[in-house]
């Protein structure tokens, strides 16, 4: 077997690891009358639900049985609440493409979302700043509430309910892994026992159950993780002046980055809007504009009541993404600091890659749990995710200090990167996947 | 019927030298003197590595034998392979080959084990079969592209190729003369309720079921089989008999070249141990030209012949321009029933039409076979 890289930035650097032993040694003897599913997705969050959706809508999975296990209750698809939820995600164009491939993006567009076109990031300890914007009129990304994404995914899951079964309030409590190859009287499938005692079997188990993944623990996959000495505070802010709210602002303070993500053009009427843009037009006419002129972020008027939330941050990376009949996607495989807005996008990228490999395997009549294509997925994604995790961790550590040499280093680095447009374009392209 | 061959003096010396160095059994000496040598048409050295990874040399001691498919029940009176060849029995199975496979019957489904190269060969042969069969139907169900097709997998072994075909929706019957193989295959498919219904395994030879299954299959697959068959002509005839008119025959096998000997037998079996010793006999390898002539003379029109190459380092197969080592062939049974009349002239127009269709295969590197009409007269 080829060596696998454990992508971690810890002191252990990059190791070549062999597949570790399976932790749970209970083997299932004898076939049962359990249903044999082709794919079971454990965890019904954004990434898990999107995975089930993508498989359900794929034509090559026409006669396959897919199950999604979600521990929470079913959310009733009612009207959108007026107040904005404070859990939002930045969706990259690549993720938007994935979501539109099975029709969820249309639902999101019909609900609410916010596109942004520019991003400005600057340092608190120096004057260095970097701006990202796209020359063409494409959006750099979209800010969408997590609830909106979940609603859109639920609608699309219902559309393929003949192929995808969703079990709510079902948590997989134990797993039984198969032997490496068929031995007498041992079932080759993964056996899952649910909280209510029922059992089922599956040819491929996809773990999408978050950074404290039970699936990953049960499989005994080594996991590198540490907590940042930081927590994230999220709140909804109201701006004091009307603005064309399509720029994402981020400022690195020694205590941690602070970001303003555009949400809506609140607080202005049509009249003000048109007056505002006319003024801008006149101003631009009179004054020569510089490329990427430094803009000031809008000032905040007030914080939405009851919208503040605190959650701890950390980094995590699984040493292996796949085992025979098991694949990890989303936060179960990798957990990242939100400073680059990449967490859920990496998960959606995992979905694109895994669906691509599974679709080819299904069209070739292969056993879905076979390692030959699962390792292809792992290679693809570990390469991408390891780089991104390393870069994000590096940025976080670099900007957490106010020590002069490091401040100098990062100032020059930021200014240099800002000056080199091809490099910025490469960064944007990588982050947009 | 054994194709009697003249052994050219240079050829026998060539084989004799190899024989003295690498082979040591009495039976081999006899076989070499009567076997056909590489034909004069083979020129370049081409590499074929027959991929079977194997560690148990001990079991393979007596396995330097020709592998044929024979019905065990019938072969009670045979003594030596070449004498048996002249017997009146029409079966093409060799019980010594059966013993070879018996030893490894439980190892079929270990994807990293002895049969790993056959597992990875599925990446080539399943799309080859699937795409060529899809061309014969107007539309197909997404998710089950081969649904509604009846396929016979001759020499299915542990079911390595049978199961993917079943998963693609076809009803497959897998036959193999080795009982243990069928048991392994049955056991493996029993856990999957969908495959259990679609696949049927039988421990028998092709000749035994020819009568009852005449003209019932849309496709017959004989992958890595014809190099183990005792009598190729009879085997192909039987394949043709069980095919519906217009049905497809898929064969993958090994070419008979100097390089296939050097790399396929000497290197793979003796030196590197990639293939179990005695799995193959070079004399039984079939060149594409010979195969095409037999197919054509039995009413099967050859559509495609494509070379395959195995990389033992990566463990993957690739399509290749050269058929000097492994190759895959696809032939279609003529829709008009012709038995004794040579079909090459009567069906010329139809063959060319089918060849034109075959030349637009998607995604695979193939060359359409060009069979000059004068070829048959040389033979």
Q: Tell me: the pLDDT tens digits for B323-344?
A: 999 999 999 998 865 554 444 4
pLDDT level of residue A105 (50, 70, 90 thresholds)? very high
- CA A118 to chain CA mean position, Å: 21
- What pLDDT score was predicted for residue B65? 43
State whether A372 and B142 contact (CB < 8 Å): no
Tell me what the pLDDT averaged over chain A comes to. 79
Tell me what the pLDDT averaged over chain B comes to. 73
- What pLDDT score was predicted for residue A382? 93
Nearest to B152 by CA among B244, B37, B228, B289: B244
- What residues have CB less than 8 Å from A134, skipping those under 6 apart? A117, A140, A428
User: How many helices, marked H, and strands, marked E, lie in chain B?
Assistant: 15, 9
State whether A36 and B187 contact (CB < 8 Å): no
- What pLDDT score was predicted for residue A181? 66
Looking at the predicted structure, is the pLDDT value of residue A140 above 80? yes
User: Which of the residues A178, A181, A365 would you substitute to probe the B interface, choosing the one with the greatest number of B C-beta atoms within 10 Å?
Assistant: A365
State whether A367 and B163 contact (CB < 8 Å): yes
Give the percent of chain A with pLDDT over 90.
Answer: 37
User: Which of the residues B104, B134, B141, B142 would you substitute to probe the A interface, choosing the one with the greatest number of A C-beta atoms within 10 Å?
Assistant: B142
Measured between beta carbons, the chain B residues lying within 8 angstroms of A372 are 111, 119-120
Buried b (16+ CB within 10 A) or exposed e, B252-262: bbbbbbbbbbb
Assign A190 to helix, strand or coil.
Answer: strand
Looking at the predicted structure, is the pLDDT value of residue B244 above 70? yes
Nearest to A385 by CA among A318, A325, A326: A318
- What pLDDT score was predicted for residue A416? 82
Measured between beta carbons, the chain A residues lying within 8 angstroms of B112 are 1
pLDDT level of residue A165 (50, 70, 90 thresholds)? very high
Measured between beta carbons, the chain A residues lying within 8 angstroms of B167 are 362, 365-367
pLDDT level of residue B379 (50, 70, 90 thresholds)? very low
- What pLDDT score was predicted for residue A428? 80
Angstroms from A291 CA to nearest CA on chain B: 47
Query: Is A182 an interface residue toward B (CB < 8 Å)?
Result: yes
DSSP string over A108-137: HHHS--EEE-EEEEEESSSS-EEEEE-SSS
Angstroms from A362 CA to nearest CA on chain B: 8
Residues 226-255 of A with CB under 8 A from B: none
Query: Is A187 an interface residue toward B (CB < 8 Å)?
Result: yes
pLDDT digits (tens, 9 = 90+) for A360-413: 999 999 999 999 999 999 999 999 999 999 988 888 888 777 788 888 888 888
What is the DSSP-derived secondary structure letter of residue B263? I
What is the DSSP-derived secondary structure letter of residue A30? S
Measured between beta carbons, the chain A residues lying within 8 angstroms of B122 are 364-366
Closest CB to A62 among B127, B141, B184: B141
Q: For residue A239, how many other CB atoms are within 10 A of its CB? A: 21
Measured between beta carbons, the chain A residues lying within 8 angstroms of B193 are 36
Separation in Å, CA B202 to CA A26, B91, B104, B147, B152: 34, 16, 18, 21, 11
Confirm if A152 and A99 have CB atoms less than 8 A apart. yes
Nearest CA in chain B to A369: B111
Query: Is A116 an interface residue toward B (CB < 8 Å)?
Result: no
Query: Is A30 an interface residue toward B (CB < 8 Å)?
Result: no
Positive or negative torsion for Cα A10, A12, A14, A20: negative
Angstroms from A29 CA to nearest CA on chain B: 12
Looking at the predicted structure, is the pLDDT value of residue B140 above 90? no
Within B23-161, residue ranges assigned H as helices are 26-34, 81-85, 95-103, 116-134
Highest mean pLDDT among A269-283, B135-149, B364-378: B135-149
- What pLDDT score was predicted for residue A130? 78
pLDDT level of residue A135 (50, 70, 90 thresholds)? low
H or E stretch at B356: helix B348-358
Measured between beta carbons, the chain A residues lying within 8 angstroms of B126 are 364-366
Can you read off the two tokens belonging to residue B347?
């069906």
pLDDT level of residue A182 (50, 70, 90 thresholds)? low
Distance CA A166, CA A69 (A): 6
Query: Is A367 an interface residue toward B (CB < 8 Å)?
Result: yes
pLDDT digits (tens, 9 = 90+) for A110-123: 888 888 888 777 77
pLDDT digits (tens, 9 = 90+) for B30-76: 443 333 333 333 433 333 444 444 444 444 444 444 444 444 444 44
Can you read off the two tokens belonging to residue B42?
């083979």
Distance CA A347, CA A334 (A): 8
- What pLDDT score was predicted for residue A68? 95
Give the mean pLDDT of A244-260: 73
Q: For residue A174, how many other CB atoms are within 10 A of its CB? A: 14
> Could you tell me how many CB contacts below 8 A there are between chain A and chain B?
66
Closest CB to A181 among B111, B120, B130: B111
Distance CA B27, CA B243 (A): 37
Query: Is A180 an interface residue toward B (CB < 8 Å)?
Result: yes
Within A337-401, residue ranges assigned H as helices are 343-363, 371-398
Chain B positions contacting chain A at CB under 8 Å are: 109-113, 119-120, 122-123, 126-127, 130, 141-145, 163-169, 184, 187-188, 190-194
Closest CB to A365 among B126, B190, B192: B126
Query: Is A139 an interface residue toward B (CB < 8 Å)?
Result: no
Angstroms from A364 CA to nearest CA on chain B: 6
Which carries the bigger pLDDT value, residue A165 or residue A410? A165
Looking at the predicted structure, is the pLDDT value of residue B182 above 50? yes
pLDDT level of residue B17 (50, 70, 90 thresholds)? very low
- What pLDDT score was predicted for residue B38? 38
Can you read off the two tokens belonging to residue A378?
């792992």
- What pLDDT score was predicted for residue B337? 56
Looking at the predicted structure, is the pLDDT value of residue A178 above 60? yes
Closest CB to A188 among B141, B142, B191: B191
User: Annotated binding residues of B, as ranges?
Assistant: 125, 155, 176, 223-224, 227-228
H or E stretch at A417: helix A404-419
Give the percent of chain B with pLDDT over 70.
Answer: 65
pLDDT level of residue B345 (50, 70, 90 thresholds)? very low
- What pLDDT score was predicted for residue A55? 95
Nearest CA in chain B to A370: B111
H or E stretch at A156: helix A146-159
Nearest CA in chain A to B126: A364
Give the mean pLDDT of B207-229: 89
Looking at the predicted structure, is the pLDDT value of residue A327 above 90? yes
pLDDT level of residue A307 (50, 70, 90 thresholds)? low
Q: For residue A226, how many other CB atoms are within 10 A of its CB? A: 12
User: Which of the residues B128, B141, B167 would you substitute to probe the A interface, choosing the one with the greatest number of A C-beta atoms within 10 Å?
Assistant: B167
- What pLDDT score was predicted for residue B31? 40
Q: For residue B145, how many other CB atoms are within 10 A of its CB? A: 20
- What pLDDT score was predicted for residue A33? 64
- What pLDDT score was predicted for residue B71? 42
Query: Is A360 an interface residue toward B (CB < 8 Å)?
Result: no
pLDDT level of residue A19 (50, 70, 90 thresholds)? low
Q: Which residue has the tokens 């014809």?
A: B226
Looking at the predicted structure, is the pLDDT value of residue A251 above 60? yes
Angstroms from B123 CA to nearest CA on chain A: 7
Looking at the predicted structure, is the pLDDT value of residue B313 above 50? yes
Which carries the bigger pLDDT value, residue A100 or residue A404? A100
CA angle A18, A23, A25 (to 5 degrees): 120
Give the mean pLDDT of B173-179: 93
Nearest CA in chain A to B127: A364
């Amino acid at each position: 077997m080829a060596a696998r890289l454990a992508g971690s930035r810890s002191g252990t650097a990059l190791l070549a690891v062999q597949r570790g032993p399976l932790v749970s040694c209970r083997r299932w003897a004898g076939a049962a009358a359990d249903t044999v599913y082709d794919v079971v997705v454990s965890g019904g969050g954004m990434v898990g639900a999107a995975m089930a959706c993508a498989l359900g809508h794929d034509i090559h999975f026409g006669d396959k049985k897919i199950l999604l296990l979600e521990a929470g209750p079913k959310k009733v698809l009612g009207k959108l609440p007026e107040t904005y939820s404070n859990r939002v995600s930045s969706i990259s164009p690549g993720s938007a493409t994935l979501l539109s491939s099975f029709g969820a993006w249309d639902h999101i567009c019909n609900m609410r979302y916010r596109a942004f076109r520019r991003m400005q990031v600057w340092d608190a300890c120096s004057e260095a700043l970097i701006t990202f914007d796209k020359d063409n009129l494409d959006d750099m990304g979209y800010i969408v509430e997590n609830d909106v994404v979940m609603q859109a995914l639920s609608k699309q899951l219902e559309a393929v309910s003949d192929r995808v079964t969703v079990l709510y309030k079902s948590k997989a409590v134990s797993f039984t892994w198969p032997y490496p190859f068929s031995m007498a009287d041992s079932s080759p499938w993964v056996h899952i026992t649910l909280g209510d005692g029922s059992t089922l079997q599956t040819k491929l188990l996809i773990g999408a159950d978050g950074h404290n993944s039970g699936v990953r623990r049960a499989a005994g996959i080594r996991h590198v993780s540490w907590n940042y000495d930081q927590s994230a505070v999220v709140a909804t802010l109201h701006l004091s002046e009307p603005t064309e709210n399509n720029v994402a602002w981020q400022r690195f303070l020694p205590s941690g980055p602070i970001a303003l993500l555009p949400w809506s053009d609140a607080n202005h009427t049509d009249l003000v809007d048109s007056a505002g843009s006319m003024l801008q037009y006149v101003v631009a006419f009179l004054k020569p504009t510089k490329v990427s002129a430094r803009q000031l972020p809008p000032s905040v008027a007030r914080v939405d009541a009851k919208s503040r939330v605190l959650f701890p941050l950390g980094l995590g990376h699984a040493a292996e993404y796949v085992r025979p009949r098991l694949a990890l996607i989303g936060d179960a495989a990798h957990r990242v600091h939100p400073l680059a807005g990449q967490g859920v996008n990496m998960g959606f990228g995992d979905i694109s890659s895994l669906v691509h490999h599974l679709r080819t395997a299904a069209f070739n009549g292969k056993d879905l749990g076979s390692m030959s294509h699962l390792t292809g997925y792992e290679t693809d994604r570990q390469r991408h995710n390891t780089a991104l995790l390393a870069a994000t961790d590096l940025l976080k550590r670099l900007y957490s200090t106010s020590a002069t040499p490091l401040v100098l280093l990062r100032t020059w680095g930021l200014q240099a990167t800002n000056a080199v447009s091809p490099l910025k374009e490469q960064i944007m392209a990588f982050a947009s996947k | 019927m054994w194709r009697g061959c003249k052994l050219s003096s240079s050829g026998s010396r060539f084989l004799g030298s190899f024989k003295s160095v690498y082979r040591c059994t009495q039976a081999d000496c006899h076989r070499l003197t009567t076997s056909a040598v590489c034909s004069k048409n083979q020129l370049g050295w081409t590499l074929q590595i027959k991929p079977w990874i194997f560690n148990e040399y001990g079991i393979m001691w007596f396995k330097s034998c020709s592998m044929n498919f024979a019905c065990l029940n019938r072969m009670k009176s045979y003594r030596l392979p070449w004498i048996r060849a002249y017997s009146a029995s029409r079966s093409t199975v060799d019980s010594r080959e059966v013993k070879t496979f018996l030893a490894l019957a439980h190892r079929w489904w270990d994807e990293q084990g002895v049969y790993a190269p056959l597992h990875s060969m599925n990446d080539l042969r399943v799309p080859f079969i699937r795409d060529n069969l899809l061309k014969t139907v107007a539309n197909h169900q997404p998710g089950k592209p081969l649904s509604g097709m009846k396929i016979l997998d001759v020499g299915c072994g542990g079911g390595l190729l049978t199961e993917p075909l079943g998963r693609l929706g076809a009803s497959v019957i897998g036959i193999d003369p080795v009982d243990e193989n069928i048991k392994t295959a049955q056991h493996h498919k029993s856990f999957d309720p969908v495959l259990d219904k679609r696949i049927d395994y039988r421990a028998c030879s092709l000749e035994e079921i020819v009568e009852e299954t005449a003209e019932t299959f849309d496709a017959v697959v004989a992958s890595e089989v014809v190099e183990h068959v005792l009598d190729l002509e009879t085997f192909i005839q039987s394949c043709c008999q069980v095919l519906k008119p217009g049905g497809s025959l898929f064969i993958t096998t090994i070419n008979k070249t100097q390089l296939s000997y050097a790399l396929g037998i000497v290197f793979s079996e003796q030196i590197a141990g990639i293939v179990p010793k005695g799995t193959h006999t070079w004399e039984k390898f079939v060149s594409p030209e010979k195969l095409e002539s037999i197919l054509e003379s039995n009413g099967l029109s050859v559509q495609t012949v494509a070379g395959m190459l195995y990389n033992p380092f990566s463990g993957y197969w690739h399509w290749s321009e050269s058929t000097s080592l492994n190759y895959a062939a696809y032939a279609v049974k003529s829709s008009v029933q012709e038995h004794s009349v040579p079909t090459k002239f009567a069906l010329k127009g139809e063959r060319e039409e089918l060849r034109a269709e075959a030349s637009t295969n998607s995604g695979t590197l193939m060359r359409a076979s060009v069979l000059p009409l004068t070829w048959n007269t040389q033979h």
